[in-house]
Amino acid sequence: MNWSTKKAIAFDLGYTLVTNNRVQLHRQFLRNQGIELEEEIIRRAYHLADKKFMRAYPKVISTGWDYYFPWFVGKVNFLLGHQFNLIEQTNFMKQEIDRLWQSGQSFWTPFPWTVDTLQKLREQNFRLALLSNWDASARPILSFLELDELFDVIIISDEFGCEKPDPSIFQELLLQLNCSSEEVVYVGDNYYDDVPGAAEVGIATLLLNPYGRLGMEELNYKPVVPDIRHLLELLPLHSHAAYE
C-alpha cells in the first residue's frame, strides 16, 4: 500500500470507531445465574462470534436485533461452554439497553482513542469519511456521541440503498470525497464486507483485529492492526493542501 498518496480516510462505524456494552451485559446475566467469568474471556468469545458471522453468515448482523441476536448470543454461549434460554437472556440484555437510552445514555460509545485519533488526522488535513452498513439509527447515534462533525462525508447503507461489499457504495464514497481510489484508504473490521468491495473500485483497506489474527486464521491479508491509533504510525502525517 502506498501511504504517501492518501488524502482521505474512510471508516466503518461499529467496532471500528464505536463499541458497546454487550460484554458487560452478558457478564451481568451470567452473574445473575451464579456464574463469574472475567470480562476479557467474554470479550474474546464475542470477538470469535463476530468473526464467525462475518465469514459464514454475511449480512446477517445487519438484519436487526430480533433476526440475529438470539442466534448470535447462542454462539457466544457455546464458546463459553454455557447453555441458557436465549429468549430470556436476550430480553434481559435488551431491557438493560432500553434502560440506558431512557436514562439519557447510549448503548454505543466511542473507543477511548477514537475522537483523539480522528482529530489528529484532521489536523494533518486528511479528509475523513464514514461509510457504514447501518440502519436509520446511525445519524442519531453519531449526533448523540458528537462524532458527526468530525466527518466531511457520511454514507449510511440504509440511506444509500445498498450495503458493503457492493462496490457501488464505495464508488459513491469516491464521488462524494472527490478523490481518486489511490487517494483513499478504508478502515474496517470486517474483511468480507470491507476489503473485496473496496478493492473492486481500487481502494486499499486497513483491516482491524484487536487479537492479532484470532478469528481470521483463514485469511492471508495485510495490513492488519489492532485499532485506528495505528494509522498515526502508518500514514505519513504531512499537511495536504486543503480541498477547495
**pLDDT digit string (tens) for 128-168?**
999 999 999 999 999 999 999 999 999 999 999 999 999 99
Identify the pLDDT of residue 1.
80
pTM for this one? 0.93
Residue matched to cell numbers 470507531: 17
Cell of 157: 447503507
**pLDDT digit string (tens) for 169-218?**
999 999 999 999 999 999 999 999 999 999 999 999 999 999 999 999 99
**Average pLDDT estimate for 237-244:** 44
Burial of 198 (0-12, 13-18, 19+ CB in 10 A): buried
pLDDT level of residue 237 (50, 70, 90 thresholds):
low
The full DSSP string for 171-184 is HHHHHHHT--GGGE
Whole-number Cα distances in Å, 8 to 55, 65, 102, 203: 28, 33, 37, 11
Hey, is 187 helix, strand or coil?
strand
**Dihedral pair phi/psi, residue 225, rounded to 5°:** -130, 160
Q: Are 7 and 152 within 8 A, CB to CB?
A: no
Instruction: Give the mean pLDDT of the chain.
Output: 93
Task: Answer whether residue 11 shows pLDDT above 70.
Answer: yes
Closest CA to 129 of 16, 237, 236, 210: 16
Determine the Cα angle at 79 with ends 91 and 56, to 5°. 90
For the chain, percent of residues with pLDDT exceeding 70 = 97
Q: Are 50 and 3 within 8 A, CB to CB?
A: no
Cell of 110: 466511542
Distance CA 216, CA 190 (A): 10
Can you give the residue ranges of every domain in the chain? Answer: 3-18+108-234, 22-102
Cell of 164: 458493503
**Average pLDDT estimate for 63-85:** 92
**pLDDT digit string (tens) for 14-42?**
999 999 999 999 999 999 999 999 999 99
Q: Which residue has the higher pLDDT, 187 or 4?
A: 187
220 C-beta neighbours (distance < 10 Å), count: 7
Query: Across the beta sheet with 127-132, what order do the strands follow?
Result: 153-156, 127-132, 8-11, 184-188, 204-208, 224-225
Task: Answer whether residue 83 shows pLDDT above 50.
Answer: yes
Identify the pLDDT of residue 242.
41
pLDDT level of residue 223 (50, 70, 90 thresholds):
very high
**Average pLDDT estimate for 6-13:** 97
Identify the pLDDT of residue 58.
86
Virtual torsion, Cα 193, 196, 200, 201, nearest 10 deg: 50
Task: Answer whether residue 244 shows pLDDT above 70.
Answer: no
The 8-class DSSP code of residue 17 comes to T
Identify the pLDDT of residue 240.
46
Task: Answer whether residue 241 shows pLDDT above 60.
Answer: no
CATH number of 3-18+108-234: 3.40.50.1000
